[in-house]
Amino acid sequence: MSTPYDRPGTYNPGTGEPLPPVAPSEPSEISAAIGQARAAQPAWAARPAGDRYDLCRKLARRIMENRKQVCEIMAAETGRTATEAFMSEVVYLMTAVDSAVRACEAATATVPVPLSFIEYPGKKACVEAVPRGVVGIIAPWNYPLSNFYKPLFPALLSGNTVVLKPSEFTPRTGQWLYEQCVAVFPTNVVKIIQGAGDVGQKLIQGVDAIVFTGSVPTGRKVALQAAERLIPSSVELGGKDAAIVLADCDLTRTVAGVGYWGFHNAGQNCAGIERVYVEAPIADAFVAQLGKLAAALRVPEDLGPLQNPRQLQIVEEHVADALAKGARLVAGGKPTGQGLGYAATVLDQCTAEMRIMREETFGPVLAVQRVPDAEQALALANDCAYGLGGSVWTKNTARGEQLVRRMEVGVAMVNNHAVSGTLPESAWTGMKDTGTGIAQSQFAYATFVRRRTVLVDTNKDPDAWWFPANADLAAFAEAAAQKSLGSFIVLPKLVGLISKRVKAIKALATQK
């Protein structure tokens, strides 16, 4: 029996109302998009950096000015309210682009190479950043607009052209972004292709670098395919973030913060809190307060639905497994009955044997495990296949810093969680199955630029180590070695040998 949710991207997850389908790109269209972006790239890279910066700012302003339109599109594709879409994906965009510009300037600055005027007379060298060419961006459905920002702006700012591939579940948001790019940038600087995984595979075959955000299994395939082509890939994959709640925390603020980062976007956030390890002395009070918060949240006013039936199925399976193995249901635990909505859920008395403590749930569920102390919490938090973010909640911030630095994560926080994802000058990265890609900041630019060394030699004389390989060359090598070991007494001898070598080299080159 068919349902409104049978075909990705053709329904509103909150209501089941149909959305017009978006046709996938044909192979010829994919090749054409990549070819057109490649043809446009040299001229784009040749523009002054300031021009590229101004146009990126212009794009951000255009998105902000048309925010109502895009938020309505996101609301239809994700089931969230337009207000939540606005708050999550648009409101800080102008500030983010200004930060991205600063990060680009730091990452792409030319670096001089220090050279000794004795051994390397008349020479100057530098290392500069050169755009890769065409960057492909494959984005997921959970944040269908802002997941493009982190790679799009660095790629464009550093002189690349871009081909976007939105998720097949949220194609219209990506199409809208593309249309804004077309209105701002020169022709073919940004292109778009639509479709599922097969379209993404064809994209990787033609670009010079790929950025992927999504699941671990698909991310492994993307990284392998890129490696076979010897192109850089940045993959940001799953997460199973843990929050460690210490007995001395500010209980009210901690409940509010853990609740927000656990239920935000219906938990469909790779950096959302999924596991909570709370010290026993405050566990009863913490769980009770968290349960009340969850019970008060409304769907879809406070959190939207799951985006697709498979995600709802995973959530239901994880909750059922936890309850069967002894977890206690504190709040929620069932679908709302409207669309793909699922009530904000708190599970207490969870253990490491439960799937909900080990596998990525990606839903509005907070699983709580009680622990005797912080060391046990740390050991359990680190016993995980993922390593994106982690947080410690405590009034003793010095202790919190010490503890969080021992968490096996790429983003470590005290008394907050995932907020650095909105800071474009901070590295957003992970370890383990989360992947080692860096999604923003100057540290992400290995994906977007390659390094090129340029050396210019104005020395009128030949270099002292050129042919002939006579006895003076051995003496020169020995003197140079002694200088490198810190002997400055040898400098006059070295200078004399250089002069002698130059004469011998000229004689060899001019003999008749």
Residues taking part in catalysis: 236, 270
Encoding tokens for residue 204?
């990787």
Distance CA 132, CA 208 (A): 6
Distance CA 202, CA 381 (A): 38
Encoding tokens for residue 234?
């940045």
Distance CA 438, CA 421 (A): 11
Q: Closest Cα partner for 158 from 184, 138, 129, 186? A: 129
Q: Closest Cα partner for 309 from 333, 343, 342? A: 342
The amino acid sitting at 314 is I
Distance CA 193, CA 174 (A): 9
The amino acid sitting at 318 is H
Specify the residue for token string 């950025």: 211
| Burial of residue 275 (number of CB atoms within 10 Å: 0-12, 13-18, 19+) | buried
Instruction: Tell me how crowded residue 216 is: count the other CB atoms within 10 A of its CB.
Output: 18
What lies within 8 Å, CB to CB, of 308 at 6+ separation is: 5, 8, 13, 141, 169, 340
Give backbone dihedrals phi and psi of 42, rounded to 5 degrees, phi first. -60, -40
Q: How many CA atoms lie within 13 A of 25 on its CB side?
A: 29
Diameter over CA atoms, the chain: 97
Instruction: Tell me how crowded residue 477 is: count the other CB atoms within 10 A of its CB.
Output: 13
Distance CA 459, CA 91 (A): 56
